[in-house]
Structure 1
């Protein structure tokens, strides 16, 4: 069985949780212990640790998640009603491929059971088996990474954590419909990589763009299936990571806001956090990031998948060469733009679909500006 790969929660963690008050999060979570495995029919969100960072150049040979769990479960939850379970840890396999296999099997089963996994790694190459977990669902996948780098490195050179995206793009079956990077820093990425993002009609937002207007990220998460967070995208002053020193990056408030956007998205079905440096300071931040993701989950509006569009206000915007159709939700005031179906025998979209967008993109269209994300999605549909 897939869950045989999971090691139960350590007894010393459980002993500390028993001392918490009934109001704290640890008293409201179901744990995988040596005597009991949670009933998944009653679970909405599952926390999983992966104790393998062989894919990176980490100074630590071991991954220690003890401090994260202690900090997270000592917090007080919001007005939450979802059932949360901590399923324990996947140990490092004999090879990194063994770890990939175990993670893929566990996550695939959870997703098929409509349970959202929160995966705490390990190195970021673990994003690859998370992506492969969707193979059995036979659906196209949208991946969003919060990262200062694109991770397009060569597969045969360097570590997998810096080249996992290349593996995702090249390996069959190719189920990746869109990739978006949030927070890349130009000086960490070659011009070749930046050009490749454009060539593949992927999306990238520089750190400065998001820091100046963090709401730009909300429509991106609304269209994501997987969110992969590299903790090196947070500046060291806020993360406490002085081993892989990052003078620039997201601050604690911004990274928690992004996690909340990911949680509030009706479509996000998997959240991963990677490259933890084992420091106490970063453990506190990770716990808060997870808290905000769960908080966002509890404010989902259930507008995806779309049923009838009768509850949306429809706006038709004629441009010189296109006629754009926008929809605005009367429930949340959020916006979508229609991507028309183009029948060419090879396109990835099988029907007209709605792409999340912002009010500013609607205003731009009213001023005869074609939204860039619409254009890229349309190109992927045609090519």
Structure 2
């Protein structure tokens, strides 16, 4: 694996991390240091990496960005009852151009995915999610992206990419890998009606902040279907993050954003997480919250049930629900109690999904189907597959 893009952790930071309590994460995580070099990835499940790219940041460029404050707080925490190993690979420095940074991040994430390692990316501008997404190009699969953000970040695909305008590029640029885009926590007054209508026309999923805050469990099936997840720190309310750079009074609180991070971790399909729009001016509370988000993501990964395997699916309980001319097929796991609904394969059509696919859902979707109401996510997914 090519690690030429990675810079080791600052030696003063390493000394502080190693000086923590014996049972802290700082004593258990393998670090990329000047002396030891890049860690061996054998048996590593999660790799933390910082990306010091802020030139297109929504909050403005941060010339002095580093992630030492987050790392100090993260490594001062005690681990849970975990059975997986974590490494910190250090940072990707700014390239000569933003595109150079994209290239480095895309290659690194792609290599980590091939090794079965889940990257946790700490980044400046959220346009870095474009490189995170492009890392999946070599896997010849359709990709589901979940973005926790107050804005859709669709942008104009004809204009240059930016921290608040990158999804359009993901949609129109080859190769066309995107199957679904889900926006979680959007706030209507930050999004034009044109964008809201475009999300609907593309059959993408969108969940308003109030909807998620009122029942955060509705996001679990969405996360369960995601391949990669991005979190814009601006989706967190100002009182929780404690910063002057994302000053919206509305947004997720600390408990909610950590719950969403845990949902992302516990999903068997999520293979990368990005936390973006960080600014080094955040106070102690903001850095500690981001550290705890990482902690909850790792906690989720540790408790995965691996229900995407063929052997696990053989144990699922099957339910069939006739609605009009359709027969909806639901499955329930006897182990976790989680639900899925089948998306049928259309053999005589140029569909995006090449086989029958199980779409994560919840028990309420099954109950609604029994009352002759077709689940909205099933309808959207079926329509996307037919286009």
Aligned residue number for residue 48 of structure 1: 49
TM-superposed deviation, 1:57: 3.8
- Given that 1:53 and 1:62 are in contact with CA atoms closer than 8 Å, whether structure 2 keeps it comes out as no
Aligned residue number for residue 119 of structure 2: 117
In 2: Cα distance, 1:82 partner to 1:43 partner = 7
In 2: Cα distance, 1:92 partner to 1:252 partner = 30
- 1:145-224 pair list within 5 angstroms: 145-155=147-157, 160-224=162-226
SS in 2 for 1:86: strand
SS in 2 for 1:220: helix
**5+ long unaligned stretches in structure 1:** none
- Deviations along 1:179-230, one digit per CA (max 9) or x if unpaired, are 0000000010011111111111110000011000000000000000000000
In 1: Cα distance, 2:347 partner to 2:157 partner = 35
Aligned residue number for residue 19 of structure 2: 19
TM-score of the superposed pair, with normalisation by structure 2: 0.97
> In structure 2, do the counterparts of structure 1 residues 104 and 313 end up closer, same or farther at CA, with 3 Å as the change threshold?
same
Q: Does 1:369 align with 2:370?
A: no
Aligned residue number for residue 4 of structure 1: 4
SS in 2 for 1:102: helix
TM-superposed deviation, 1:33: 1.1
SS in 2 for 1:160: coil
> In structure 2, do the counterparts of structure 1 residues 179 and 251 end up closer, same or farther at CA, with 3 Å as the change threshold?
same
In 2: Cα distance, 1:270 partner to 1:96 partner = 21
- Given that 1:2 and 1:102 are in contact with CA atoms closer than 8 Å, whether structure 2 keeps it comes out as no
> In structure 2, do the counterparts of structure 1 residues 156 and 379 end up closer, same or farther at CA, with 3 Å as the change threshold?
closer
- 1:281-320 pair list within 5 angstroms: 281-307=285-311, 309-320=313-324
Stretch moving more, 148-157 or 220-229: 148-157
In 1: Cα distance, 2:184 partner to 2:3 partner = 33
In 2: Cα distance, 1:354 partner to 1:38 partner = 37
**5+ long unaligned stretches in structure 2:** none
TM-superposed deviation, 1:42: 2.0
TM-superposed deviation, 1:157: 5.1
- Given that 1:57 and 1:159 are in contact with CA atoms closer than 8 Å, whether structure 2 keeps it comes out as no
TM-superposed deviation, 1:155: 4.7
SS in 2 for 1:105: helix
SS in 2 for 1:78: coil
Stretch moving more, 50-59 or 209-218: 50-59
SS in 2 for 1:273: strand
- Given that 1:49 and 1:119 are in contact with CA atoms closer than 8 Å, whether structure 2 keeps it comes out as yes
Stretch moving more, 276-285 or 233-242: 276-285
> In structure 2, do the counterparts of structure 1 residues 105 and 348 end up closer, same or farther at CA, with 3 Å as the change threshold?
same
In 1: Cα distance, 2:72 partner to 2:343 partner = 45
Please point out which of 337, 349, 353 is paired with 1:349. 353
SS in 2 for 1:181: strand
SS in 1 for 2:163: helix
- 1:240-279 pair list within 5 angstroms: 240-278=242-280, 279=282
